[in-house]
Structure 1
Amino acid sequence: MSELMIETQNGIRTLRLNRPERLNAFTSPLSSQLIDALQQASADDEVRVVVITGEGRGFCSGLDLTAVSELTSRQKSRHERLDDLEWVGRLTLSIVHNDKPVIAAINGAAAGAGLAMALACDFRVLKASAKITTGYIRNGLSPDAGMTYFLPRLVGLAKATELILTGRDILAEEAERLGLANAVFEEEEFEEGVRRFAETLAAGPPIAMTLSKRMLAEAQDADLVTQLKRELASIHKCFASGDTREAVQAFLEKRRPVFRGE
């Protein structure tokens, strides 16, 4: 049985972690499959949006501590030796550098690298019963997978310090209040809510979405003048695209635009 289930419908590529008996904790095979699937989705013009979620009652409980020796093995591939990021870093970058919007559909427990993966995503939608935690400190560990990069940017340094050093549980309501969740759906509405959220994004202009996502990622460490130049270059690309011509024509004809990424 595959540890990652992949489904595509209406331009939405769903990547479902499939280790429900371990709350979808990461193993080496699962992490490799997920990185490959994200890279494939980024390159596939038929994919407009990527959704990462979990099978069963968990989203992802982070590193599977029963396989820790396997995951921390120093036997690295040539690619890993060159970047020295190991799978956690490469997973984070495969989300941030993905050309498609990535949604973390948090259906249950998210902890450690599982939460860090969600923080790297462009959007996080939570089931009302879901609990999240930075978790690392509970196991005598410091954070990885970009946790110390994303969390302070989302909630501020003081709150991020609290959440990392206490490792306490965060309920969905608090996550939404802190800005960690873009939406919270009740149990019976979760799947439908995620679908509607993803479909709204999938109907958007692909070129503008990709350029916008890239600029938002680059803006984290850029000065204003650099970012203004990037914005100008990107909007010129948009004006030259068929999507912008379609938007103008749809406006004149008083109809909804249909974007094809041309």
Structure 2
Amino acid sequence: MGELNIPTHSNEVKASIPSPHILLVSLNRPKALNAMSSTMSADMKRLLDWFEGEPELWVVVLTGEGRLFCAGADLIEWNKQQQGGDTSDQGRVAANRYGFGSVSRRESTKPIIAAVHGGAYGGGLEMVVNSDLVIASEDAKFGFPEVTRGVIAIQGAIPRITQICGHQKASELLLTGKIIGAVEARDRFGFVNAVVPNSTTAVAEAIKLAQQITANSPDAVQSTKHALVLSQRLSHSETVSQHVWSHVTERVYNGQNIKEGLKAFAEKRRPIWTNPSKL
């Protein structure tokens, strides 16, 4: 794996490559509980757009510095906009293709893993429920408190949490603004995969999970992720049809990794994967 030049970004986000093919992105406004500012949002889009187009990167892990994963939107910044007469929020939401933090509506073909500690509230939870896998520390709390502040969880969370846990449980979270713990998020609401002791182990377990994914063919993983995304909005037959004929699946059958995987099986050895071609 060659040297990758991580795009320039502000100190409101940290980015590193802790293991081959894995990008680790940390929200870095700990004093503000990692509330999403306009600067942080721009940084996230720049980094994730780069991640999407970089063949050497196969999985991204998201986490936060300090006490919380993400407290949601920067309400101080938002209040100044509102009090100053800026009422263009609907237009901004509609134009924001990738949603909150450039994650909550992103339909990536690459896996996204969230390592959550302390809390994920509002937009922070919107990012979490659109992640593919979620590792949470025992102290993690989750909630959509938007209605308690007169705003809406409008960046993609409503359809996603409804798909995950059903109408009634989604309503319980969205209409009351209640806060739940990590175990309840895993066992009752179903959007947490595993609960671990603390923030350090959450990131370590997320990276370990990412390494399990990168041990597989990146072509096959990305085609499978594409089908998972399609299944969120299409019928069973439409998902199968669009998946079969998609460019990301065509790349699997015309690429080198399928040949390598089958050859390695026949030769009883571990396959040596190569970076997939750009779509």
Fold similarity call, TM over 0.5: yes
Matching of residue 257 in structure 1 with residue 271 in structure 2: yes
Higher helix share: 1
Equivalent residue runs for 1:1-262 within 5 Å: 2-9=11-18, 10-69=20-79, 73=86, 84-86=94-96, 89=99, 91-92=101-102, 96-177=106-187, 178-187=189-198, 189-234=201-246, 235=249, 237-262=251-276
TM-superposition CA deviations, 1:108-140 (whole Å, max 9, x none): 210001100111111111111111111112212
Please state how far the C-alpha of 1:11 moved relative to its aligned partner. 1.3
Contact 1:132–1:169 (CA<8 Å) still a contact in 2?
Answer: yes
Change (3 A) 1:67 1:241: same
Are the counterparts in 1 of residues 264 and 270 from structure 2 also a CA contact under 8 Å? yes
| C-alpha separation in 2, matches of 1:63 and 1:232 | 38
Taking only aligned residues, the RMSD between alpha carbons, in angstroms, comes to: 2.5
Q: Residue 12 of structure 1 contacts residue 198 of structure 1 at CA under 8 Å; is this kept in 2?
A: yes
User: Helix, strand or coil: the match of 1:96?
Assistant: coil
Shift in Å, 1:252: 1.1
- CA gap 1:109/1:71 in 2 versus in 1, 3 angstroms: farther
Range 165-174 or range 235-244, more displaced:
235-244
Q: Which moved more, 1:197-206 or 1:229-238?
A: 229-238
Deviation for aligned residue 1:69: 4.0
* 8 A Cα contact 1:96 1:217, kept in partner: no
Instruction: Among all aligned residue pairs of Structure 1 and Structure 2, give the percentage whose two residues are the same amino acid.
Output: 29
Alpha-carbon distance in structure 1 between the residues aligned to 2:66 and 2:100? 26
Instruction: Show structure 2 runs of 5+ residues with no match.
Output: 1-9
Secondary structure (helix, strand or coil) at the match of 1:144 reads coil
TM-score (norm 2): 0.84
Q: Paired residues, what number?
A: 259
One-letter code of the match for 2:221? M
Q: Give me the whole-angstrom Cα distance separating, in 2, the residues matched to 1:31 and 1:113.
A: 11
| Distance 1:105-1:245 versus aligned 2 partners, 3 A rule | same
Q: Give the secondary-structure state (helix, strand or coil) at the position aligned to 1:46.
A: coil
Tell me: CA distance 1:220–1:68, structure 2 relative to 1, closer, same or farther (3 Å).
same
Tell me which amino acid in the other structure corresponds to 2:46. D
Question: In the TM superposition, what is the alpha-carbon distance from 1:91 to its structure 2 partner?
Answer: 4.3
Relative to the length of structure 1, the TM-score reads 0.89
Structure 2 residue matching 1:7: 3-state secondary structure? strand
Q: What amino acid does structure 1 have at the position aligned with 2:266?
A: L
Q: Which amino acid aligns with 1:181?
A: V
**Residue pair 1:23, 1:61 contacting (<8 A) in 2 also:** yes
Where does the alignment leave 5 or more consecutive residues of structure 1 unmatched? none
Aligned match of 2:4: none
Cα deviation for residue 83 of structure 1 reads 8.4
Opposite residue 186 of structure 1, the aligned amino acid is: P
* CA positional deviation for 1:227: 2.1
Q: Deviation of residue 167 (structure 1)? A: 1.3
Q: Which amino acid aligns with 1:51?
A: V
